[in-house]
């Protein structure tokens, strides 16, 4: 091809690209949405201190929702993989991470029936996590959600997806739903003790932090578990600005049935009204922007004798650290004279 022909071809190519860019720029953008963002599926992340009763609450809540005709999916996102144990009468179901590893070694693909199981209308699965000392639990959460996306997570037709997250851990993997707007709202489970409210306050702080960065996730409220009537959790909710969605009493019947892996959130049972009300509140409570407390503000919810206020912080000295008199030792540092 002659140099003249080559130049003409390049000129034509440049004109074509310029015309294309002009045509693209002339297209008016879609109008900005003015209404509240809506999704057909409500994705709700539930956080709380380990052992506070998240799994107990979620098993009974999801069961009641299913009995009310709502398509509900419960996903355990705790490395202990015990979210669904109460729902399935104490039986453990295969985790997504473990199943994926086995299938990969066998050269097979993971199917829904390998990791998702159901009982009386409730669908449930466990993400799982690494063995103790052999990996990062937060990274396992991220990997688990990547697998869920490959299984078509965003195409599933559920009314509610409940995510059970450990609130004690503050690494990025466990904050995934808040940081990436993967859920519309967060619910915290707490009790009338300082540690569980400390975790709840941390979750509220995380929500507030990402709201400042442009996030949309809010806190729908708190479920008070093992409520003994002392009132600290109610006071916390009032200070932070979130509603109490339900207060589950510290009752021996509840403790005993929970220990025996029995569902108490059944229509017509002794505790049906409690979980019917919780299901309604969870569905309707709007996500709000909380006002997290300072450490002193959190301690102020409790009586002084309960949290050790009035104790002074006494600075330690080098003598204290060495257990007696400190000997001044010559420095081994080499000092070079400048010329």
Q: Give me the residue spans of the domains in the chain.
A: 42-299
> What tokens does 95 get?
């985790």
Distances (CA, A) of 113 to 93, 99, 128, 143: 11, 11, 16, 19
Question: 196 is written with which tokens?
Answer: 């569980």
**Residue-averaged pLDDT of the chain:** 83
Kindly state the tokens that stand for 184: 């519309």
What is the predicted pLDDT for the residue at 248?
97
Catalytic residue list contains 80: yes
| Sheet architecture: strand order including 42-48 | 117-119, 122-126, 72-76, 160-166, 42-48, 185-190, 218-227, 244-249
Instruction: Kindly state the average pLDDT of the residues 241-260.
Output: 96
Q: Which of 129-143, 226-240, 323-337 comes out lowest in average pLDDT?
A: 129-143
Catalytic residue from among 114, 159, 168, 181? 168
Q: Which fold has domain 42-299?
A: Rossmann fold (3.40.50)
Residue 289 has pLDDT above 70, yes or no: yes
Pairing, β 185-190 against β 42-48: parallel
From the list 54, 185, 226, 257, the catalytic residue is 54
What is d(CA 93, CA 96) in angstroms, rounded to the nearest whole number? 9
Q: How far is CA 323 from CA 35, 125, 313, 316, in A?
A: 67, 55, 19, 11
Q: Is 49 a catalytic residue?
A: yes
- Per the annotation, the verdict on 39 as an active-site residue is no
Residue 186: φ, ψ to 5°: -120, 140
At residue 51, the pLDDT reads: 87
Residue 88 near residue 124 (C-beta atoms within 8 A): yes
Q: Determine the Cα angle at 312 with ends 307 and 315, to 5°.
A: 130
The SS3 assignment for 76 reads strand
**Beta-bridge partners for 190:** 224
Task: Answer yes or no: is pLDDT of 30 > 60.
Answer: no
Task: Using DSSP, state whether 330 is helix, strand or coil.
Answer: coil
- Say what the pLDDT of residue 273 is: 96
């Amino acid at each position: 091809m002659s140099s003249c022909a080559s130049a003409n071809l390049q000129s034509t190519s440049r004109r074509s690209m310029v015309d294309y860019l002009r045509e693209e720029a002339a297209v008016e953008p879609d109008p900005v949405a003015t209404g509240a963002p809506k999704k057909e599926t409500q994705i709700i992340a539930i956080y709380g201190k380990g052992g506070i009763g998240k799994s107990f609450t979620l098993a009974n809540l999801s069961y009641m929702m299913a009995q009310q005709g709502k398509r509900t999916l419960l996903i355990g996102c705790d490395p202990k993989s015990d979210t669904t144990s109460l729902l399935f009468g104490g039986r453990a179901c295969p985790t997504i991470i473990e199943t994926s590893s086995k299938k990969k070694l066998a050269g097979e693909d993971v199917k829904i029936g390998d990791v998702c199981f159901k009982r009386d209308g409730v669908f449930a699965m466990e993400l799982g996590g690494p063995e103790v000392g052999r990996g990062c639990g937060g990274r396992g959460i991220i990997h688990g959600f990547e697998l869920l996306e490959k299984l078509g997570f965003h195409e599933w037709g559920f009314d509610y997806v409940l995510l059970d997250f450990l609130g004690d851990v503050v690494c990025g993997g466990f904050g995934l739903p808040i940081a990436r707007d993967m859920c519309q709202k967060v619910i915290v489970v707490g009790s009338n003790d300082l540690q569980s409210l400390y975790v709840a306050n941390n979750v509220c702080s995380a929500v507030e932090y990402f709201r400042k960065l442009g996030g949309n996730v809010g806190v729908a409220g708190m479920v008070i578990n093992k409520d003994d009537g002392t009132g600290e959790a109610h006071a916390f909710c009032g200070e932070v600005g979130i509603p109490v969605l339900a207060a589950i009493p510290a009752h021996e019947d509840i403790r005993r049935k929970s220990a025996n892996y029995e569902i108490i959130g059944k229509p017509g049972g002794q505790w049906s009204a409690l979980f019917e009300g919780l299901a309604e509140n969870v569905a309707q409570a709007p996500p709000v922007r909380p006002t997290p407390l300072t450490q002193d503000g959190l301690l102020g919810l409790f009586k002084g004798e309960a949290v050790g206020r009035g104790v002074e912080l006494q600075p330690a000295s080098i003598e204290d650290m060495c257990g007696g008199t400190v000997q001044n030792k010559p420095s081994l540092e080499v000092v070079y004279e400048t010329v």
